Amino acid sequence: MTLDTEQQKRLAAVTAARLVQDGDIVGLGSGTTAAFLLEALAVRCREGLRFTAVPTSDDTARCAARFGLTLAALDDYPELDIDIDGADEVDPALSLIKGLGGALLREKLVARAARRFVVVVDERKPVQRLGERARVPVEVIPFGWTHTRAALQRLGSEAELRGAEQPFRTDGGNYILDCRFADLSDPAPIAAAVKAVTGVVEHGLFLGMASEVLIGRADGTVERLRADRT
């Protein structure tokens, strides 16, 4: 039997859910991967697991509440034990592009606060170089967003407003510009330049943050990649 991409994500999410220990403070990511993770964690809770969840989006918070999970805000905890989230692309250094779901700002805040950041993906997401398929989401304030877009274009990107006719709004009320850069083989300088643009709130380049990546494979296995920070 060959697993499709949704089944691959579910498999990896179930594997990630097993990493949560009793009493942990757990960051919960957003999107379809988070839905699978919440299902798996709810099963473990029925078996006796107790933990506190810090959601990265309003949608995740609502879904977690429906499962009866204990929720808290990021400000309630100086450090999280583990954060589990998805990604749009993963390169060999475990650097990521995230933000297709529009929750990149909160996702990055929660990931930064966690001692362990675990990423769950299907086998389409690993790439040799960031930007092969995914654009880099950049969250910007709505005021003067066309000027912010022009500044990003001067950095060499093609920047498109998400939902042009009816702009997409993040949970924080901001816009998303989806940016394609010609060369992301060295993403760190680009990440720094984007963050320095006035009007930019945050970008979807998650560099040097992931502790490990769990890849659900079509053959029913889960590949585990760990970061080498030495």
- Catalytic positions, written as ranges: 107
Among residues 115, 13, 109, the alpha carbon closest in space to that of 56 is found at 109
228 burial type by CB count under 10 A (0-12 exposed, 13-18 middle, 19+ buried): exposed
Beta-bridge partners for 118: 84, 212
Q: Say whether 118 sits in a helix, a strand or coil.
A: strand
What contacts 186, CB < 8 A, 6 or more positions away? none
Residue 68 phi/psi, 5-degree rounding, is 80, 20
Cα distance between residue 55 and residue 91, in whole Å: 25
The tally of CA atoms less than 13 A away on the side-chain side of residue 136 is 32
Where b means 16+ CB within 10 Å and e means fewer, 68-94 reads ebeeeebeeeeebbbbbbbbbbbbeeb
